[in-house]
């Protein structure tokens, strides 16, 4: 075999090897983002529905309490913070190529949402600590009031974080970037562009006292945003980014 034949054969083998073992970085990123979005659903819904109810069912501080259950809720929300920031940083690596300023705005919004969640976690931990240290202490007459104040603080962090900032970041900013880049079907992006403003509206109405926090109005207005993030996560896991969208993003980076 001649030298040129050896080189040609070696090159062909290298190409086949790279093609068979190589993983598309954007496909991997899409899968990671998708699973992280799914994780945000699990770690946010489970505490609200299954773990935190005893906290809001009465005077938790002076009652018997279900500390382990509530603490698992706080831990779940700590994992939610990790998933939130993970979605933002992973998406930033892709979206910065086309929309660098909006991409960093999405990261900032996700961090602010996580800050509100963190304050809520601290409120929950404080209530549990108060119950463990002062439950049964008849001299602490003002303890129920203090406990109720921290519970109210936790509820407001939920409204300002997942029910307000999410509408700006995940809804409007991310929805617009997905629409412009075509990384996902545009009819899917519409859910974000519609759901984002509705969530911002519902959060604003709650802050201004127009509707009661946690009312049916807030639930209804959050439906498009709920399905936008859920379907986006599932789509990215199953399909990944659309080839036409990745081509446009990569082309912008050249």
| Entry pTM | 0.86
Chain segment 32-88, per-residue pLDDT in tens? 999 999 999 999 999 999 999 999 887 888 877 799 999 999 999 999 999 999 999
pLDDT in tens, 230-247: 999 999 999 999 988 887
| String of DSSP letters for 143-183 | HHHHHHHHHHHHHHHHHHIIIIIHIIIIIIIHHHHHHHH-S
Locate 133 and state its tokens: 């240290």
**Where do the structural domains in the chain lie, given as residue ranges?**
25-239
* 137: CB partners within 8 A, 6+ apart: 143
Burial 214-248 (b: 16+ CB within 10 A, else e): eeeebeebbebbeebbebbbebbbeebbbeebbeb
Q: Is the pLDDT of residue 90 over 50?
A: yes
Instruction: Say if residues 65 and 131 touch (Cβ distance below 8 Å).
Output: yes
């Amino acid at each position: 075999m001649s030298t040129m034949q050896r080189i040609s054969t070696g090159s062909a083998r290298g190409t086949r090897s790279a093609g068979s073992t190589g993983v598309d970085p954007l496909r991997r990123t899409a899968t990671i983002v998708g699973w992280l979005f799914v994780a945000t659903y699990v770690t946010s819904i489970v505490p609200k529905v299954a773990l935190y109810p005893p906290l809001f069912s009465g005077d938790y501080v002076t009652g018997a309490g279900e500390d382990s259950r509530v603490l698992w809720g706080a831990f779940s929300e700590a994992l939610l913070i990790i998933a939130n920031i993970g979605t933002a940083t992973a998406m930033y690596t892709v979206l910065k190529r086309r929309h660098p300023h909006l991409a960093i705005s999405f990261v900032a919004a996700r961090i602010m949402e996580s800050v509100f969640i963190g304050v809520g976690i601290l409120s929950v931990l404080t209530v549990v600590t108060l119950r463990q240290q002062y439950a049964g202490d008849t001299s602490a007459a003002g303890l129920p009031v203090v406990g109720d104040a921290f519970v109210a603080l936790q509820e407001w962090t939920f409204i300002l974080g997942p029910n307000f900032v999410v509408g700006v970041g995940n809804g409007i900013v991310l929805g617009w970037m997905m629409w412009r880049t075509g990384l996902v079907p545009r009819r899917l992006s519409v859910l974000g562009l519609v759901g984002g403003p509705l969530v911002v509206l519902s959060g604003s109405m709650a802050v201004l006292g127009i509707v009661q926090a946690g009312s049916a109005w807030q639930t209804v207005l959050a439906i498009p945003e709920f399905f936008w993030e859920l379907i986006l996560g599932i789509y990215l896991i199953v399909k990944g980014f659309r080839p036409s969208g990745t081509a446009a993003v990569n082309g912008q980076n050249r």
